[in-house]
Amino acid sequence: MLEGWQIGVVIPARDEEQHIQAVLEGLPDFVDMAVVIDDGSTDRTAMVAKTTKTNCQKIILAGGGDGVGASIDRGHRHLLESFDAPFVSVVMAGDGQMNPHDMMGLIAPILQGKADHVKGNRSLHPEGFKGMPLHRKRASRILSLFTTLAAGTQISDPQCGYTATSVEVLKAWDWNRSWSGYGYPNFWLINLARHGYRVAEVPVESIYRNESSGIKPLKFFASVGWMMAVEHHRRNLTWLFSRNVTPHTILAMISYVLGWSALLPFVSNDLEVELLSRGVPAIALCCAFWAIAHLFDRSATRVHRALVHHAKTRPTQEAT
Protein backbone atom coordinates (compact mmCIF):
# COMPACT_ATOMS: atom_id res chain seq x y z
CA MET A 1 0.00 0.00 0.00
CA LEU A 2 1.15 3.53 -0.80
CA GLU A 3 -0.36 6.70 0.67
CA GLY A 4 -3.65 4.95 1.39
CA TRP A 5 -3.83 3.35 -2.07
CA GLN A 6 -3.66 -0.39 -2.53
CA ILE A 7 -1.46 -1.59 -5.39
CA GLY A 8 -2.38 -4.55 -7.57
CA VAL A 9 -0.27 -5.98 -10.38
CA VAL A 10 -1.84 -7.76 -13.34
CA ILE A 11 0.56 -10.22 -14.99
CA PRO A 12 -0.58 -11.82 -18.27
CA ALA A 13 1.61 -14.82 -19.07
CA ARG A 14 1.70 -17.44 -21.80
CA ASP A 15 4.49 -20.04 -21.92
CA GLU A 16 6.66 -18.00 -19.54
CA GLU A 17 7.94 -20.73 -17.19
CA GLN A 18 11.49 -19.41 -17.69
CA HIS A 19 10.64 -15.87 -16.55
CA ILE A 20 7.54 -15.84 -14.33
CA GLN A 21 9.42 -16.70 -11.13
CA ALA A 22 11.82 -13.76 -11.49
CA VAL A 23 8.90 -11.45 -12.31
CA LEU A 24 7.01 -12.43 -9.16
CA GLU A 25 10.05 -12.40 -6.89
CA GLY A 26 11.04 -8.95 -8.17
CA LEU A 27 7.76 -7.24 -7.28
CA PRO A 28 8.27 -4.23 -4.96
CA ASP A 29 7.29 -4.54 -1.30
CA PHE A 30 4.46 -2.02 -1.66
CA VAL A 31 2.48 -4.38 -3.95
CA ASP A 32 -0.57 -5.80 -2.15
CA MET A 33 -1.76 -8.34 -4.72
CA ALA A 34 -0.36 -9.97 -7.86
CA VAL A 35 -2.81 -11.53 -10.30
CA VAL A 36 -1.19 -13.92 -12.78
CA ILE A 37 -3.37 -14.83 -15.75
CA ASP A 38 -2.17 -18.00 -17.45
CA ASP A 39 -3.30 -17.41 -21.03
CA GLY A 40 -3.45 -21.02 -22.24
CA SER A 41 0.19 -21.93 -21.60
CA THR A 42 1.45 -25.29 -22.82
CA ASP A 43 4.40 -25.29 -20.40
CA ARG A 44 4.66 -25.08 -16.60
CA THR A 45 3.90 -21.35 -16.29
CA ALA A 46 0.98 -21.82 -13.90
CA MET A 47 2.83 -24.37 -11.73
CA VAL A 48 5.92 -22.18 -11.42
CA ALA A 49 3.75 -19.17 -10.55
CA LYS A 50 1.91 -21.15 -7.85
CA THR A 51 5.10 -22.37 -6.17
CA THR A 52 6.95 -19.04 -6.28
CA LYS A 53 7.04 -17.21 -2.95
CA THR A 54 6.04 -13.55 -2.98
CA ASN A 55 5.74 -10.74 -0.44
CA CYS A 56 2.13 -10.08 -1.44
CA GLN A 57 -1.08 -11.97 -1.95
CA LYS A 58 -0.92 -14.01 -5.15
CA ILE A 59 -3.79 -15.18 -7.36
CA ILE A 60 -3.52 -17.45 -10.40
CA LEU A 61 -6.33 -17.23 -12.96
CA ALA A 62 -6.87 -19.41 -16.03
CA GLY A 63 -7.10 -17.30 -19.18
CA GLY A 64 -8.11 -19.85 -21.77
CA GLY A 65 -5.78 -18.64 -24.53
CA ASP A 66 -8.09 -15.91 -25.82
CA GLY A 67 -5.45 -13.17 -26.00
CA VAL A 68 -3.30 -10.87 -23.90
CA GLY A 69 -5.96 -8.14 -23.88
CA ALA A 70 -8.62 -10.49 -22.52
CA SER A 71 -6.18 -11.70 -19.86
CA ILE A 72 -5.46 -8.14 -18.72
CA ASP A 73 -9.20 -7.46 -18.52
CA ARG A 74 -9.61 -10.50 -16.27
CA GLY A 75 -6.89 -9.23 -13.98
CA HIS A 76 -8.33 -5.71 -13.76
CA ARG A 77 -11.80 -7.06 -12.99
CA HIS A 78 -10.44 -9.38 -10.31
CA LEU A 79 -8.81 -6.42 -8.57
CA LEU A 80 -12.10 -4.51 -8.75
CA GLU A 81 -13.76 -7.39 -6.90
CA SER A 82 -10.93 -7.80 -4.39
CA PHE A 83 -10.07 -4.26 -3.23
CA ASP A 84 -12.30 -1.96 -1.20
CA ALA A 85 -9.91 0.96 -0.72
CA PRO A 86 -8.72 3.14 -3.62
CA PHE A 87 -6.24 1.22 -5.71
CA VAL A 88 -3.98 1.35 -8.73
CA SER A 89 -3.78 -1.54 -11.17
CA VAL A 90 -0.37 -2.01 -12.78
CA VAL A 91 0.04 -4.19 -15.87
CA MET A 92 3.38 -5.98 -16.00
CA ALA A 93 4.09 -8.69 -18.57
CA GLY A 94 5.21 -12.13 -17.48
CA ASP A 95 8.18 -12.20 -19.86
CA GLY A 96 10.55 -10.21 -17.65
CA GLN A 97 10.85 -7.30 -20.10
CA MET A 98 9.60 -4.72 -17.58
CA ASN A 99 11.83 -3.42 -14.80
CA PRO A 100 10.03 -3.53 -11.40
CA HIS A 101 12.11 -0.56 -10.26
CA ASP A 102 10.18 1.57 -12.77
CA MET A 103 6.85 0.79 -11.07
CA MET A 104 7.00 3.63 -8.56
CA GLY A 105 7.40 6.10 -11.39
CA LEU A 106 4.32 4.68 -13.10
CA ILE A 107 2.17 4.91 -9.99
CA ALA A 108 3.30 8.36 -8.78
CA PRO A 109 1.24 10.59 -11.18
CA ILE A 110 -1.95 8.80 -10.10
CA LEU A 111 -1.17 9.11 -6.38
CA GLN A 112 -0.41 12.80 -6.94
CA GLY A 113 -3.74 13.35 -8.70
CA LYS A 114 -2.05 14.33 -11.97
CA ALA A 115 -3.22 11.43 -14.15
CA ASP A 116 -5.86 8.71 -14.43
CA HIS A 117 -3.74 6.37 -16.55
CA VAL A 118 0.04 6.26 -16.88
CA LYS A 119 1.94 4.43 -19.59
CA GLY A 120 5.60 3.61 -19.88
CA ASN A 121 7.57 5.19 -22.69
CA ARG A 122 10.83 3.46 -23.51
CA SER A 123 11.96 6.27 -25.80
CA LEU A 124 12.07 8.65 -22.81
CA HIS A 125 14.49 6.42 -20.92
CA PRO A 126 18.18 7.48 -21.02
CA GLU A 127 19.07 4.25 -22.83
CA GLY A 128 16.14 4.51 -25.25
CA PHE A 129 15.08 1.42 -27.17
CA LYS A 130 18.14 -0.51 -26.07
CA GLY A 131 18.25 -3.94 -27.66
CA MET A 132 14.99 -3.53 -29.58
CA PRO A 133 15.24 -5.07 -33.08
CA LEU A 134 15.27 -2.55 -35.92
CA HIS A 135 12.01 -3.81 -37.45
CA ARG A 136 10.25 -3.30 -34.11
CA LYS A 137 11.56 0.25 -33.85
CA ARG A 138 10.14 1.00 -37.30
CA ALA A 139 6.82 -0.61 -36.41
CA SER A 140 6.69 1.40 -33.17
CA ARG A 141 7.12 4.68 -35.08
CA ILE A 142 4.34 3.75 -37.50
CA LEU A 143 1.99 2.71 -34.71
CA SER A 144 2.82 5.90 -32.78
CA LEU A 145 1.69 7.96 -35.76
CA PHE A 146 -1.55 6.08 -36.31
CA THR A 147 -2.40 5.92 -32.60
CA THR A 148 -1.81 9.68 -32.36
CA LEU A 149 -4.18 10.25 -35.28
CA ALA A 150 -6.82 7.90 -33.84
CA ALA A 151 -6.61 9.22 -30.27
CA GLY A 152 -6.37 12.90 -31.17
CA THR A 153 -3.41 13.37 -28.83
CA GLN A 154 0.34 12.85 -29.06
CA ILE A 155 1.23 9.24 -28.25
CA SER A 156 4.76 7.82 -28.24
CA ASP A 157 5.68 4.14 -27.87
CA PRO A 158 2.02 3.01 -27.79
CA GLN A 159 2.92 -0.69 -27.70
CA CYS A 160 4.61 -0.43 -24.31
CA GLY A 161 2.24 -2.41 -22.11
CA TYR A 162 3.75 -1.31 -18.81
CA THR A 163 0.87 0.78 -17.44
CA ALA A 164 -0.84 1.95 -14.26
CA THR A 165 -4.56 2.71 -14.09
CA SER A 166 -6.67 4.35 -11.41
CA VAL A 167 -9.63 2.54 -9.89
CA GLU A 168 -11.88 5.36 -11.12
CA VAL A 169 -11.12 4.42 -14.73
CA LEU A 170 -11.67 0.71 -14.09
CA LYS A 171 -15.01 1.29 -12.36
CA ALA A 172 -16.35 3.22 -15.35
CA TRP A 173 -14.84 1.02 -18.08
CA ASP A 174 -17.12 -0.87 -20.48
CA TRP A 175 -15.87 -4.43 -20.03
CA ASN A 176 -18.37 -5.77 -22.54
CA ARG A 177 -16.54 -3.95 -25.30
CA SER A 178 -12.81 -4.53 -25.42
CA TRP A 179 -9.94 -5.78 -27.57
CA SER A 180 -8.53 -9.20 -26.76
CA GLY A 181 -5.33 -9.26 -28.81
CA TYR A 182 -2.03 -7.42 -29.20
CA GLY A 183 -3.66 -4.10 -30.15
CA TYR A 184 -4.98 -3.77 -26.61
CA PRO A 185 -2.81 -0.73 -25.66
CA ASN A 186 -3.94 1.16 -28.78
CA PHE A 187 -7.61 0.40 -28.06
CA TRP A 188 -7.22 1.66 -24.50
CA LEU A 189 -5.42 4.86 -25.46
CA ILE A 190 -8.07 5.81 -28.03
CA ASN A 191 -10.93 5.14 -25.62
CA LEU A 192 -9.21 6.86 -22.72
CA ALA A 193 -9.06 9.94 -24.94
CA ARG A 194 -12.73 9.50 -25.90
CA HIS A 195 -13.79 9.56 -22.26
CA GLY A 196 -11.54 12.49 -21.37
CA TYR A 197 -9.17 10.71 -19.00
CA ARG A 198 -5.78 12.24 -18.27
CA VAL A 199 -2.94 10.10 -19.66
CA ALA A 200 0.68 10.59 -18.63
CA GLU A 201 3.88 9.03 -19.96
CA VAL A 202 6.95 8.20 -17.86
CA PRO A 203 10.31 6.70 -18.85
CA VAL A 204 10.74 2.96 -18.43
CA GLU A 205 13.63 0.70 -19.31
CA SER A 206 13.63 -1.30 -22.54
CA ILE A 207 14.64 -4.92 -21.82
CA TYR A 208 15.16 -7.29 -24.73
CA ARG A 209 16.83 -10.66 -24.90
CA ASN A 210 16.51 -13.24 -27.67
CA GLU A 211 12.75 -13.84 -27.44
CA SER A 212 10.81 -14.42 -30.63
CA SER A 213 7.51 -12.58 -31.07
CA GLY A 214 4.26 -14.41 -31.77
CA ILE A 215 2.92 -11.45 -33.74
CA LYS A 216 2.26 -11.94 -37.46
CA PRO A 217 3.00 -8.48 -38.91
CA LEU A 218 0.54 -8.41 -41.82
CA LYS A 219 -2.36 -9.79 -39.78
CA PHE A 220 -1.51 -7.51 -36.88
CA PHE A 221 -1.36 -4.29 -38.91
CA ALA A 222 -4.53 -5.19 -40.83
CA SER A 223 -6.63 -5.98 -37.76
CA VAL A 224 -5.22 -3.29 -35.46
CA GLY A 225 -5.25 -0.69 -38.24
CA TRP A 226 -8.92 -1.38 -38.92
CA MET A 227 -9.71 -1.28 -35.20
CA MET A 228 -8.00 2.11 -34.81
CA ALA A 229 -9.90 3.52 -37.81
CA VAL A 230 -13.21 2.35 -36.34
CA GLU A 231 -12.41 3.67 -32.86
CA HIS A 232 -11.24 7.01 -34.30
CA HIS A 233 -14.56 7.53 -36.08
CA ARG A 234 -16.52 6.29 -33.06
CA ARG A 235 -14.74 8.77 -30.80
CA ASN A 236 -15.41 11.73 -33.07
CA LEU A 237 -19.02 10.82 -33.86
CA THR A 238 -19.71 10.37 -30.14
CA TRP A 239 -18.43 13.90 -29.49
CA LEU A 240 -20.17 15.36 -32.55
CA PHE A 241 -23.60 14.21 -31.38
CA SER A 242 -22.94 15.02 -27.74
CA ARG A 243 -24.88 17.69 -25.89
CA ASN A 244 -21.54 19.33 -25.05
CA VAL A 245 -20.12 19.33 -28.58
CA THR A 246 -17.32 21.89 -29.02
CA PRO A 247 -16.57 24.06 -32.08
CA HIS A 248 -13.25 22.23 -32.49
CA THR A 249 -15.07 18.94 -33.12
CA ILE A 250 -17.38 20.53 -35.68
CA LEU A 251 -14.46 22.18 -37.51
CA ALA A 252 -12.53 18.89 -37.49
CA MET A 253 -15.49 17.11 -39.07
CA ILE A 254 -15.90 19.82 -41.75
CA SER A 255 -12.21 19.60 -42.66
CA TYR A 256 -12.38 15.79 -42.70
CA VAL A 257 -15.38 15.82 -45.07
CA LEU A 258 -13.65 18.35 -47.33
CA GLY A 259 -10.71 15.96 -47.56
CA TRP A 260 -12.96 13.17 -48.77
CA SER A 261 -14.64 15.58 -51.15
CA ALA A 262 -11.30 16.19 -52.86
CA LEU A 263 -10.90 12.45 -53.49
CA LEU A 264 -14.40 11.42 -54.48
CA PRO A 265 -15.29 12.35 -58.09
CA PHE A 266 -19.03 12.52 -57.47
CA VAL A 267 -18.71 15.06 -54.62
CA SER A 268 -17.41 18.60 -55.02
CA ASN A 269 -17.59 22.09 -53.55
CA ASP A 270 -16.64 25.58 -54.70
CA LEU A 271 -13.38 25.68 -52.71
CA GLU A 272 -12.27 22.35 -54.11
CA VAL A 273 -13.13 23.31 -57.67
CA GLU A 274 -11.21 26.58 -57.37
CA LEU A 275 -8.09 24.94 -55.94
CA LEU A 276 -8.13 22.11 -58.47
CA SER A 277 -8.46 24.63 -61.29
CA ARG A 278 -5.27 26.28 -60.00
CA GLY A 279 -3.38 23.03 -60.42
CA VAL A 280 -3.44 21.75 -56.84
CA PRO A 281 -3.42 17.90 -56.99
CA ALA A 282 -6.46 16.23 -55.46
CA ILE A 283 -4.33 14.05 -53.17
CA ALA A 284 -2.43 17.10 -51.88
CA LEU A 285 -5.73 18.87 -51.25
CA CYS A 286 -7.06 15.85 -49.38
CA CYS A 287 -3.95 15.55 -47.19
CA ALA A 288 -4.04 19.28 -46.41
CA PHE A 289 -7.67 19.15 -45.29
CA TRP A 290 -7.04 16.03 -43.19
CA ALA A 291 -3.99 17.64 -41.56
CA ILE A 292 -6.18 20.61 -40.61
CA ALA A 293 -8.82 18.19 -39.34
CA HIS A 294 -6.24 16.52 -37.10
CA LEU A 295 -5.14 19.86 -35.65
CA PHE A 296 -8.74 20.70 -34.80
CA ASP A 297 -9.17 17.17 -33.42
CA ARG A 298 -6.20 17.63 -31.08
CA SER A 299 -7.72 20.86 -29.82
CA ALA A 300 -11.06 19.09 -29.34
CA THR A 301 -9.36 16.35 -27.32
CA ARG A 302 -7.65 18.87 -25.03
CA VAL A 303 -10.89 20.78 -24.48
CA HIS A 304 -12.87 17.59 -23.86
CA ARG A 305 -10.30 16.37 -21.33
CA ALA A 306 -10.37 19.72 -19.52
CA LEU A 307 -14.18 19.77 -19.41
CA VAL A 308 -14.35 16.23 -18.03
CA HIS A 309 -11.72 16.96 -15.38
CA HIS A 310 -13.49 20.20 -14.39
CA ALA A 311 -16.81 18.37 -14.07
CA LYS A 312 -15.21 15.81 -11.74
CA THR A 313 -13.44 18.34 -9.53
CA ARG A 314 -16.25 20.94 -9.32
CA PRO A 315 -18.29 19.12 -6.61
CA THR A 316 -15.18 18.91 -4.43
CA GLN A 317 -14.40 22.58 -4.94
CA GLU A 318 -18.00 23.59 -4.12
CA ALA A 319 -17.95 21.46 -0.96
CA THR A 320 -14.89 23.31 0.32
Which domains does the chain possess? 6-214 (3.90.550.10), 242-319 (no CATH)
d(CA 235, CA 223): 18
- Tell me the pLDDT tens digit for each residue of 210-236: 666 667 778 889 999 999 999 999 999
The strand pair at 87-91 and 6-13 is best described as parallel
DSSP 213: P
Name the band, by pLDDT with cuts 50, 70 and 90, for residue 187: very high
Beta strands in the chain (DSSP E): 6-13, 33-38, 57-62, 87-91, 117-121, 163-166, 199-203
C-alpha distance across the termini of the chain, in Å: 28
Name the band, by pLDDT with cuts 50, 70 and 90, for residue 245: very high
Residue 247 has pLDDT above 60, yes or no: yes
d(CA 82, CA 66): 23
Contact partners, residue 85, CB within 8 Å, separation at least 6? 1, 4, 5, 6
Name the band, by pLDDT with cuts 50, 70 and 90, for residue 265: confident
Name the band, by pLDDT with cuts 50, 70 and 90, for residue 319: low
